[in-house]
Amino acid sequence: MIHLKSGSRRVLVVLVVCIVFILPLMTLAIRSFQSNAGFSYENYALLLSQSRTHQAIVNTLLVALISSLIATAGGVLVAVLVAYTNIPGKRWIELCVLSPMVVPSYVIALAYTTLFANRGLINQALVHWGLQRINVYSFQSIILVIALCNIPIVYMQCIDALRKVPLEAEWASLSSGHGRLKTLVSINLAQIWPTIQGALLLSFLAALDNFSVPALLGITSNIPMLSTYIYEKAIGFGPSAFQQAAALAMILSSLVMVVLFLQFLVSRKKFYTKSVLAVSEVRMKFSKRGKWMMLFVLVPVFFGIYLLPILTMVMASFSRTFGMVASLSEFSLKNYEFVLTSITTRSAFFNSLWFALISVAVCLVFASMFAYWRVRRPQDKELGVVEKFIAVPYALPGIVLALAMIFFWSIVPGVYGSTLILLIAYVTRYMILQIKGSTSAFRGLHPELEEAGISAGRNRFSQWIRIIIPLTLKPIMASSAIIFISVFTEVTLSSLLAAANSKTVGLSIFSLQQAGNYNQSYAFSALIILFILFIYSVFLIIRKISVHRRKQHDINP
Amino acid sequence: MTLILKDISKRYGLTEALTKVNATIEDGEFISILGPSGCGKTTLLRIMAGFLNPSEGELYENDRLISSASIQKPVMRKNFGMVFQSLALWPHMSVTQHLDYVLKAKHLHLTSAQRQFRIEETLEKCDLLSLKNRLPGELSGGQQQRVALARAMVGNPGILLMDEPLSALDAHLRISMRKEIMRIHQLTEATIIYITHDQQEALAMSNRIMVMNQGKVQQFASAEAVYTQPLNPFVAAFVGKYNLFSGQWHGDGFQVAQSDFCFQVSCPNDVFRTLGLCPLRPDQLDFGSQGVAGEIVFREFMGQYQLYEVKCDQGNFRVEIEITRVFLAGEKVFLSLRSNL
C-alpha cells in the first residue's frame, strides 16, 4: 500500500506526527512562560502565590486519590463477586457496573442532581425527619460520581486477571489448611496486585482528566479544581489570563507525568505466569440462604446507585414544571418536543454525529496504514517512538489538549473558530486508540495469508477488500466503536474549541442545565442514552454478522 | 487414618469420568494410581482431596463420611499435602514464603521460631537452601518441582497426594526425586497416593498399585501381584508389557491360533480363558528349535538384555534375550517358553 523503501517518506511521517501531536503541546509549554515582559516565570509565580490555585491543586489531588481508591475497592469487590461466586443475576450486575461506558459522566452527574434536588423526594423526606438536606453540589459528590464513572476501568482489568488465577493455586492454599477468605486475600488478590495497582493509577489519571463532573457540580458551588480552573482562565478576561491558563495546564500535566511514571514502574513488575486461559468456574459457593442474603443487599444498592438516578431524571423529563413528576396532570412531552424540534439541539446532535463519523473515518484510514506498517516492518524502530508521540494527547487531560490546540492552530488561518479545530482535536486525541486496535488486529494476521493473495495474482486493493479487512474487522471495529462513543459524547474539548456553529451534544446538555432549563436537559440526556444504546446494538449486530458469515465460509469446503 | 472409597462415580454431562471405584487405603501405605492419560486418575485424586464431589458414592475417612454427592461443600481436611501436576506455585511468593505460608495455618499452632526451624530443615532436605529467596519465575523446572514437593511436605501431613509430580523432570533428576519421596515415606510413615502413567515408577515405589483405564479400576493389588498376576489383558499389557497370544485354552495348555504350537502354561484366570488370550512376558519367551514361527524385525539393545520384536502370523511379539546370543533382523525364529521357568 505504501512503498516504504525511501527514507524520505519515513522522515515525512515523523515530521507530520511531530507537527500534529507534539508541537501543540510544546507551544502550550512555551506560552506558559510568556508574559508582557517576554520569557518569564511570572505566570507561575502569580498563580502559585494565590490560595485559589493551592485550593485547586489540593482539591484535584484529593478528588483523584479518594475517588480512585473508592473505584478500586468497589471494582475489585464486584469483580470478585462476578468472577468467583455463584450469586444469581451476574449479567445485570455487570450491566449496571459498566453502564458509565454508555452513559456519559455528566449525564450521571445530572441524574444525581435530579435525585437529590432540593425539592426532590429524598431531600423532602430528610427535612421531614428533621435531618439535613444532602447537597449534591459538593466536594463529596464530585468524588463519588467520579468514582462511579471509573469503576468500569478497574472492573474490566481485574475480572480478567482474577479469572486467570489458576484453580490449583487456590487448592494448594486450601489443602494446607487455610480458610477460603485467607486464600482469597493471600493468593488471588496478592497475585493480581500489580493489576490492581495499574487499575488504581488508571482511574487516578481518569479522575485528573475529568472536566464535566467538576464543571457541573463544582463551578456553581465554587469548588476549584485544576481542570475547571483552566477553563475559567481560558474563557476569562484579563491581560494574561490565557497564559495563566497555560501555566495551570502545565501544572496539571506535571501531575499526570508523575502518575505515568508510577504506571511505568508498576507495569514492569508483572509476576511470571505461564500463559493461562481464563477460567469461569465458580470458586466460592454461597449456600442457598447466603445467595439470597447477598441479593437482598446487592439489589437495593445497585438499584439505588445506578438505576434510581437515571429513572428519576427520565421521570423529571416528562414533567411540565421543574421537579419530579408529581402527578399525572404534570405529565407532558413538552420537553421532548422542544429537544426534537429546537434548532440548537438538533444541530448539536448532527454536529456530534458528523464529528464522530469523520473522526472514526480519519482515524481508521491513518491508523490502519500506520499499524500495518508497524507490524509488517518491525525493523523501522523509529515507529515505536512515533507511536509514543501519538499517545501523548490521549494521556494528557482533555482540557490541556484543548488549550494546546488553541495556542497552536490559531497560527493557521481559518482553523480556530471553525469546526476544523474541533475535528483536529478529536483526531489528535483518539488516534492512538485506533492504532492500538489495528495493531493488535494486524498482529493476529499471518503474513502468509496476504502472500497467498499476492501470489494468486490479485492487486493490492482487492487484497485489502477480500482478505485483510474481513479478517481484521472485529478488533478494528471495537476501537472504532469506542472512538465513536467518545467523540459523540465528549464535552471537555468542545467546551473550549466549539464555535457558534459547531456546538456538540455534551455542550448543549451543559448549556441547557446552566441556563436553568433542567427538564429539557433531562429529555435530551435520555434521548442521547437511547441513541448510544442504538449505536452499541449496531456494532454488536455487525460483529454477529461478520462472525456468522465467517462460520458459513468455514462450513463450505 | 484409613481412606475408604465406596462406589465412587463421577459424571460430566454424559461422559463417565469414573465408574464405581471401590478401594480401602490403609494408614501409611504408598499407593500408586497408574493408567494412561484420560483414565480418571486426576479426577479420583481431586475427589480424595475434597475438591470435587462424586456424582455417586461416598468417601470415608476412618468412619467419618467426608464426601458424597449430596454434601455441597466437601469437608476440607486439614492435614494433607498436595503436589499438583501443574505445580501451582504462587508467583508472588519466594520459596521461603511458600513454606512459611503453609506453616502459618492456624491448626498447626507453631511459633515463629518453630516455623523457622521447620523451614530450614525442609529446605535442606530438598536441596533448596541456596534458592530460598527466589521467586518461582527465577527457578528452573526441576527446582520448581522441588519447591512444590517441599511445600507439600513441610507441614508434616498425614497424607500426601501427588499428581504426576515427576513427569516434567529429566531421567536423572526423576530417579533422585523418586528416592527422596520414598525416603520421606519411610521417615514420616505418611500415606502417599501417587499418580503416574509410568509403570516403572509405580512398580518401584509402591506398596500397592491401582491400575485404571477409562474410569474403572482394573486391578488394585501389590506391585508383584500386578506385575506377575495381571487380572486382565489391559493390566497385562500396560504394566508388565505382556505379549498377548490369541488362541484356545484347553486342559494342558494354550493352543496358539494359526500355528500348531502349544504353550505349556496354566490359565491365569477366567478372563483370559474366555477371551482366549495367553499373557507371556518378553522375559518368559525364548528362541527355540520349535514354537510359534516368526521373523525378527527389530533389535533394541537395552543394556542388560536385547529386546527383539518378532513378526508372526498373529502379530508382533517382543522377546528378551541375553546379550551373549545375537540374532539379526530378518532371521527366522521360533518363539517358545523359556526353559528355566
SS3 state at B198: coil
Find the Cα–Cα–Cα–Cα dihedral B62, B64, B68, B73, rounded to 10°: -120
From the centroid of its chain, how far is CA A210?
A: 9
Q: Count the helix, strand and coil residues of chain A and give each as a percent rounded to the nearest 5.
A: 75, 0, 20
**Lowest pLDDT segment from A25-34, A37-46, A303-312, A353-362:** A37-46
Q: What is the mean pLDDT of residues A1-26?
A: 76
Alpha-carbon Rg of chain B, whole angstroms? 24
- In angstroms, the separation between the Cα of residue B34 and the nearest Cα of chain A is 21
* Assigned C-alpha cell, A191: 497475585
In angstroms, the separation between the Cα of residue B240 and the nearest Cα of chain A is: 33
- Given CA atoms B137, B143, B144, B146 in this order, what sign does their dihedral have? negative
The crossing angle, in degrees rounded to 10, of helices A105-115 and A308-317 is 80
B168 secondary structure, DSSP code? T
- The arithmetic mean of pLDDT across residues A352-370, rounded, is 93
A506 with A212: CB under 8 angstroms?
yes
Q: Distance (Å, rounded) from C-alpha A393 to C-alpha A35? A: 25
* Domain residue ranges of chain B, discontinuous segments joined by +: 3-227, 241-337
Cβ neighbours of residue A450 under 8 Å, at least 6 residues apart? A463, A467, A468
pLDDT the model gives residue A549: 56
What is the DSSP code string of B236-299? HHHHS--EEEEEEE-SSSEEETTSS-EE------HHHHHHTEEEE-GGGEEEESSSEEEEEEEE
Tell me if A178 and B105 make a contact (CB, 8 A cut-off): yes
Q: What mean pLDDT do residues B181-209 have?
A: 91
Neighbours of A501 (CB within 10 A): 10
CATH of domain B241-337: 2.40.50.140
Residue B335: in which H helix or E strand, if any?
strand B332-337
- One-letter amino acid of B283: D
Domains of chain A with CATH codes: 44-164+193-285 (1.10.3720.10), 333-557 (1.10.3720.10)
Query: Backbone phi, then psi, for A379, in 5-degree steps?
Result: -75, -15
Whether B241-337 and B3-227 are alike in CATH topology: the answer is no
Asked if the model's pLDDT at residue A1 lies above 50, the reply is no
pLDDT in tens, A216-256: 999 888 999 999 999 999 888 777 888 889 899 999 999 99
Give the model's pLDDT for residue A190: 93
Q: Say yes or no for a CB contact (<8 Å) between B136 and A272.
A: yes
A62's grid cell: 484529593
- A73 has pLDDT over 80: yes
**What percent of chain A is modeled with pLDDT above 70?**
94
**Residue A190 C-alpha, separation from nearest chain B C-alpha, in angstroms:** 7
Q: Which residues of A touch B165 (CB under 8 A)?
A: none
**Is A190 in contact with B90 (Cβ distance < 8 A)?**
yes
Q: Round to whole Å and give the CA distance between A151 and A99.
A: 10
Yes or no, beta carbons of A193 and B92 under 8 Å apart: yes
Rounded to a whole number, what is the distance in angstroms from the first to the last CA of chain B? 41
Architecture of the domain spanning B3-227: 3-Layer(aba) Sandwich (3.40)
Confidence at residue A556, expressed as pLDDT on a 0 to 100 scale: 41
Q: What is the mean pLDDT of residues A61-72?
A: 97
- Among A13-27, A187-201, B198-212, the least confident range: A13-27
Query: Is the pTM higher than 0.90?
Result: no
